[in-house]
Chains A and B, each alone.
Chain A
Amino acid sequence: MPNEFAVEMKGIAKRFPGIVANDDIHLQVRKGEIHALLGENGAGKTTLMNILFGLYQPDEGEIRIHGQTVKITDPKKAIDLGIGMIHQHFMLVEPYTVLQNIILGAEPRRGVMISYKKALARIGELSDKYGLHVDPHRTIREISVGMQQRVEILKTLYRGADILIFDEPTAVLTPQEIQELMAIMRKLADEGKTIILITHKLKEIMAIADRVTIIRRGRVVDSLPVRDTTAEELAAKMVGRNVSFVIEKKEAQPGETILEIDNLTAFDDRGCQALRGLSLEVRSGEILGIAGVEGNGQRELIEVLTGLRKASSGEIRLRGRAVQNESPRRIAEAKVGYIPEDRQKRGLVLDFCVGENLVLKNYYAPPFCKRGLLRYDEIFGHAAGLIGEYDIRTPDEKTPARALSGGNQQKVIVAREVACEPDLLIATQPTRGLDVGAIEFIHRKLIEQRDKGKAVLLYSLELDEILNLSDRIAVMYEGRIVGILDPRKTNEQEIGLLMSGGHKGEREETA
Chain B
Amino acid sequence: MTGFVKRLFSESTLIPVVSILIGLILGAVIMLAGHYNPFLAYGSLFAKAFGDMYNFGETIRQITPYIFTGLAVAFAFRTGLFNIGAEGQFIMGAVAAACVGVLLDAPWFLHVPLALAASALAGGLWGSIVGYLKAARGVHEVITTIMLNWIALHAANYIVRTALLEKGMARSKYIQESAWLSSPGLSELFDHARIHYGILIALALSVLFYYVLWKTRQGYELRAVGFNPDASEYAGINVKSTFVKAMFISGLFAGVGGACEVMGVFHYQTINAAFPGYGLMGIAVALIGRNTAVGVVLGAVLIGVLTYGASGMKFGAGVSEELIHVVIALVIFFVAAGGMVELLIRRFRKKNRTVH
Q: Which residues of A contact B (CB under 8 A)?
A: 16-17, 306, 308, 327-329, 332, 338, 340, 345-352, 356, 360-361, 363-364, 369, 372-374
Contact = CB atoms under 8 A, between A and B. Distances in A.
Interface stretch (B2-10, B150-158, B215-223, B312-320): B215-223
B220 A346 contact: no
Given A356-B220, A372-B217, A327 B231 contact: no
5 shortest interchain CB distances as A-B pairs: A329-B236, A351-B227, A360-B235, A349-B228, A328-B236
A396 to B, nearest CB: 14
A360 B232 CA distance: 8
Contacts of B215: 373-374
B227 A350 contact: yes
A373 B236 contact: no
Contacts of B353: 17
Contacts of B234: 306, 308, 328, 338, 340, 346-347
Contacts of A350: 227-228
B220 A372 contact: no
B227 A369 contact: no
Contact of B220 (A16, A327, A329, A374): A374
A363 B231 contact: no
A360 B231 contact: yes
Interface in B179-238: 215-220, 223-224, 227-228, 230-236, 238
A345 B230 contact: yes
A361 B233 CA distance: 11
A346 B233 CA distance: 8
Nearest to A332: B236
19 contacts: A17-B354, A327-B238, A328-B235, A328-B236, A332-B236, A338-B234, A345-B231, A348-B231, A349-B227, A350-B227, A351-B228, A360-B224, A360-B231, A361-B236, A363-B217, A369-B217, A372-B216, A372-B217, A374-B217
B233 A308 contact: yes
Contacts of A348: 228, 231
Contacts of A346: 230-231, 233-234
A17 B352 CA distance: 10
B356 interface: yes
A328 B356 CA distance: 38
Contacts of A332: 236
Summarize A's interface: helix, strand, loop or mixed: loop
B231 A372 contact: no
Contacts of A352: 223-224, 227
Given A347-B231, A361-B235, A372-B217, 19 more contacts: A16-B356, A308-B234, A327-B236, A328-B233, A328-B235, A329-B236, A345-B231, A346-B231, A346-B234, A349-B224, A349-B227, A350-B227, A350-B228, A352-B224, A352-B227, A363-B217, A372-B216, A374-B217, A374-B219
A308 B233 CA distance: 8
A396 B341 CA distance: 30
Contacts of A351: 227-228
Contacts of A373: 215-217
B315 to A, nearest CB: 47
A278 B235 CA distance: 26
B170 to A, nearest CB: 46
B235 to A, nearest CB: 5
A425 to B, nearest CB: 15
A338 B219 CA distance: 24
Contacts of B220: 356, 363, 374
A340 B224 CA distance: 17
A213 B356 CA distance: 28
Most buried by A among B227, B228, B235: B235
A15 B204 CA distance: 50
Contacts of A349: 224, 227-228, 231-232
Given A16-B356, A352-B224, A360-B235, A372 B218 contact: yes
Contacts of A364: 217
Nearest to A338: B234
Nearest to B356: A16
Nearest to A345: B230
Contacts of A372: 216-218
Nearest to B224: A349
A363 B227 CA distance: 16
A226 to B, nearest CB: 35
A363 B235 CA distance: 9
A478 B353 CA distance: 50
A327 B241 CA distance: 14
A346 B216 CA distance: 23
A357 B322 CA distance: 47
Contacts of B354: 17
A17 B232 CA distance: 30
Contacts of A369: 217
Contacts of B238: 327
| Residue of B215, B218, B224, B231 with highest tally of chain A CB at under 10 A | B231
Contacts of B228: 345, 348-351
